[in-house]
Chains A and B, each alone.
Chain A
């Protein structure tokens, strides 16, 4: 599904990622853990295609295709989804409008007919029902006045509607209390499927109590320092990142 090979990335001339190798198979859930400043968010943004990052070496292969030359919207159309650490508020644009524009843009990309308003509402209602999200959230402006938990649930709803084959969850647990964390994790678990891979980026182990990963990677100082099973997360919880953090100022 996702193959990252020897990826080097710089921002304003500073090398942030110093040779990342990562392989995520279909249906697998991987966690990437690391201390602040280790390059976790850079990695998620680079995969999604954000401007401002210079790839100085390596490749990002998604479903057999090198993504590095593609626009963010093209990557999304090909089945990539990034759940934001800080979802953006867009006043004056209703959540439904946003979701419908996004879904129809992706459908157009694949030469499929756009959904009309009725078809769309039917489809999105089914998703909100499955995820236990109130329809009220659809009418409101995108993320405006949403609580931290609502913003993250909205990310999960977008994921459900756009149905990506790879979802990257960037610090989805940040800013959530334990109840919100449970609700969001339940949503993510409902979307787990053999056809969908997930990469969960987090600083803390606690999210992984609810979303149990197949593999855990430790990212520190711009490199994957260690890879293991879910027990690695527990070990990190106990010992912290000190072991890997030596090189980080």
Chain B
């Protein structure tokens, strides 16, 4: 049996009581999966700075918060309007979760073609189709990361997207996770599963939005399986409340000639970590892992990526750009591992950060591990401040200093945002960036966004 006393998180006893009510209760393989996750989590404990991968991100402030399970009341919190990321949901499919509870009334089915199956995790598990067992937990099983194990034990919400071979989903699917609006700190554990059949294509936009203040903890895990020739555009905006903790990870398996393309925009949250780990398992597999982080106050944001090249002629491209103001901190850890058989690997990684204040800090740790000999790999990292000459140039044309600074920040982030292939999504993300900038500076109409 599990020794609860060793659990370093003080919310665990409450959640243990919740477990019979979690999705898929009574399914044997799932119970085993959860139990295994819980035991591993208890063995591992929460990460500490003594672990190399957690050297720069401390969970201390979050350990002291007493998180409660989400109640029905929390999940049904009054909501006039859904903070949609993409303008005009129209015929676009959209799923909405509030504090981890799915809200059917905000669900837009959209114009999904035949062969696309989109549902909440709870509903999918209620029917317990065989295929789910084949995928759920398969990419996280060997993981020694405590927070992933915690999610495996506690997964209480999330979505499942399965696209049958050859089906191309034109409309981006938006999934909104709303946090906040609760009277006490709550924790929820979204577990998402995306499975694309051979040659299938889809775009998924995850929007983690915080409403109001209040501390909450979102521990999200997404597993992505891409069959040969499939393509997933996987976009995420993390705009949590100022007191929120967001610890998420994405685990991806990319088969021959398939492409995983992601962009993570982090613009809010007291403490956040977004991990992406990609296994390029077949020749011609490609991963684009990109992101931007904009932090102020005493926010902390960590982007950690691991890309494993396991087959010949695989490629990856990573561009992360950040803007840090006040006392905020960011971490970028990018590991690219080229395994013995992965000849002809092409890998590029770039991390650039703009520091707007002397109190801001970035820790960058690129790691290339190369075991093959015919490999093209590069990485680069820079940290700088606003270019005073460029600032003077803009001001000498009559542009007020604050607006000039905003233009230069936007210019700086442009290189990363350009990696977003879809025009509508790139525009939506750019608008998010503009709204992060000091509001007084949206002087003419295009700067107001919308």
Known: A101-B407, A108-B443. A87 touches B393 (CB 8 A): yes
The one of B390, B403, B414 in contact with A101, judged by C-beta atoms closer than 8 angstroms, is B403
Q: B401 — which chain A residues lie within 8 A by C-beta?
A: 71, 73
Chain B binder among A45-53, A185-193, A240-248: A45-53
Residue B20 CB within 8 A of the other chain: no
| Beta-carbon contact of A92 and B399 below 8 Å | no
Q: Kindly report which residue of chain B lies nearest to residue A108, judged by CB atoms.
A: B443
| Beta-carbon contact of A76 and B396 below 8 Å | yes
Q: How many Cβ-Cβ contacts under 8 Å join chain A to chain B?
A: 91
Chain A, interface size category, equals 35 or more
Q: How far is the CA of A93 from the CA of B389 in the complex (A)?
A: 16
The one of A49, A97, A103, A116 in contact with B396, judged by C-beta atoms closer than 8 angstroms, is A49
Annotate B356-394 by CB proximity to A: 1 below 8 A, 0 otherwise: 000000000000000000000000000000011110111
| Beta-carbon contact of A116 and B414 below 8 Å | no
Q: How far is the CA of A87 from the CA of B396 in the complex (A)?
A: 12
Q: How far is the CA of A142 from the CA of B410 in the complex (A)?
A: 13
Q: Kindly report which residue of chain B lies nearest to residue A76, judged by CB atoms.
A: B398
Residue B432 CB within 8 A of the other chain: no
Q: A90 — which chain B residues lie within 8 A by C-beta?
A: 390, 393-394, 407-408, 411
Q: B417 — which chain A residues lie within 8 A by C-beta?
A: 92
Residue A210 CB within 8 A of the other chain: no
Q: B414 — which chain A residues lie within 8 A by C-beta?
A: 91-93
Q: A72 — which chain B residues lie within 8 A by C-beta?
A: 392, 395-396
| Beta-carbon contact of B390 and A88 below 8 Å | yes
**Chain B contacts with A in 103-160, Cβ cutoff 8 A:** none
Expressed in whole angstroms, the minimum distance between the Cβ of B269 and any Cβ of chain A is: 26
Annotate B426-446 by CB proximity to A: 1 below 8 A, 0 otherwise: 000000000000000001111
Q: A108 — which chain B residues lie within 8 A by C-beta?
A: 443
Interface centre among B389, B399, B414, B445 (most CB of A within 10 A): B399
**Chain A contacts with B in 39-85, Cβ cutoff 8 A:** 48-52, 71-73, 75-77, 81-82, 84
| Beta-carbon contact of A116 and B445 below 8 Å | yes
Q: A103 — which chain B residues lie within 8 A by C-beta?
A: 398
Q: B404 — which chain A residues lie within 8 A by C-beta?
A: 73
Q: How far is the CA of A92 from the CA of B410 in the complex (A)?
A: 7
Q: A3 — which chain B residues lie within 8 A by C-beta?
A: none
| Beta-carbon contact of B407 and A102 below 8 Å | no
Q: A92 — which chain B residues lie within 8 A by C-beta?
A: 410-415, 417-418
Residue A172 CB within 8 A of the other chain: no
Residue B397 CB within 8 A of the other chain: yes
The one of B397, B411, B418 in contact with A162, judged by C-beta atoms closer than 8 angstroms, is B397
Known: A51-B392, A73-B398, A162-B397. A105 touches B443 (CB 8 A): yes
Q: How far is the CA of A97 from the CA of B397 in the complex (A)?
A: 12
| Beta-carbon contact of B415 and A104 below 8 Å | no
Q: A52 — which chain B residues lie within 8 A by C-beta?
A: 388
| Beta-carbon contact of B393 and A101 below 8 Å | no
Residue A150 CB within 8 A of the other chain: no
| Beta-carbon contact of A104 and B395 below 8 Å | no
Q: A49 — which chain B residues lie within 8 A by C-beta?
A: 395-396
Q: A102 — which chain B residues lie within 8 A by C-beta?
A: 394, 397-399
Expressed in whole angstroms, the minimum distance between the Cβ of B28 and any Cβ of chain A is: 54
Residue A21 CB within 8 A of the other chain: no
Residue B400 CB within 8 A of the other chain: yes
Q: How far is the CA of A72 from the CA of B16 in the complex (A)?
A: 63
Q: Kindly report which residue of chain B lies nearest to residue A73, judged by CB atoms.
A: B395
Interface centre among A51, A52, A97, A105 (most CB of B within 10 A): A105
Residue A106 CB within 8 A of the other chain: yes
| Beta-carbon contact of B392 and A158 below 8 Å | no
Expressed in whole angstroms, the minimum distance between the Cβ of A11 and any Cβ of chain B is: 14
Expressed in whole angstroms, the minimum distance between the Cβ of A135 and any Cβ of chain B is: 19
The one of B400, B412, B418 in contact with A73, judged by C-beta atoms closer than 8 angstroms, is B400
| Beta-carbon contact of B399 and A82 below 8 Å | no
Expressed in whole angstroms, the minimum distance between the Cβ of A98 and any Cβ of chain B is: 7
Q: Kindly report which residue of chain A lies nearest to residue B447, judged by CB atoms.
A: A101
| Beta-carbon contact of A162 and B398 below 8 Å | yes
Q: A116 — which chain B residues lie within 8 A by C-beta?
A: 445
Expressed in whole angstroms, the minimum distance between the Cβ of A199 and any Cβ of chain B is: 14
| Beta-carbon contact of B411 and A91 below 8 Å | yes
Expressed in whole angstroms, the minimum distance between the Cβ of A189 and any Cβ of chain B is: 22
Q: How far is the CA of A51 from the CA of B403 in the complex (A)?
A: 17
Q: Kindly report which residue of chain B lies nearest to residue A80, judged by CB atoms.
A: B396
Annotate A96-114 by CB proximity to B: 1 below 8 A, 0 otherwise: 0110111111101100001
Known: A92-B414, A93-B407. A82 touches B396 (CB 8 A): yes
Expressed in whole angstroms, the minimum distance between the Cβ of A140 and any Cβ of chain B is: 13
| Beta-carbon contact of B444 and A101 below 8 Å | yes
Expressed in whole angstroms, the minimum distance between the Cβ of B386 and any Cβ of chain A is: 12
| Beta-carbon contact of B415 and A91 below 8 Å | yes
The one of B398, B403, B408, B444 in contact with A114, judged by C-beta atoms closer than 8 angstroms, is B444
| Beta-carbon contact of B398 and A84 below 8 Å | no
Expressed in whole angstroms, the minimum distance between the Cβ of B427 and any Cβ of chain A is: 14
Expressed in whole angstroms, the minimum distance between the Cβ of A9 and any Cβ of chain B is: 16
| Beta-carbon contact of B443 and A104 below 8 Å | yes
| Beta-carbon contact of B411 and A77 below 8 Å | no
Q: A77 — which chain B residues lie within 8 A by C-beta?
A: 398
Annotate A190-206 by CB proximity to B: 1 below 8 A, 0 otherwise: 00000000000000000
Q: How far is the CA of A92 from the CA of B415 in the complex (A)?
A: 7
Q: How far is the CA of A187 from the CA of B130 in the complex (A)?
A: 74
Q: B415 — which chain A residues lie within 8 A by C-beta?
A: 91-92
Q: How far is the CA of A91 from the CA of B321 in the complex (A)?
A: 14
Expressed in whole angstroms, the minimum distance between the Cβ of B29 and any Cβ of chain A is: 49
Q: B395 — which chain A residues lie within 8 A by C-beta?
A: 49, 71-73, 76
Pairs across A and B, CB under 8 Å, 6 listed? A51-B388, A88-B389, A93-B414, A100-B444, A101-B407, A141-B411
**Given contact pairs A51-B392, A92-B413, A97-B446, a sample of 5 additional A-B residue pairs in the complex whose CB atoms are under 8 Å apart:** A50-B392, A73-B404, A90-B390, A91-B411, A98-B397
Binding site for B on A (CB under 8 A): 48-52, 71-73, 75-77, 81-82, 84, 87-88, 90-93, 97-98, 100-106, 108-109, 114, 116-117, 141, 158, 162
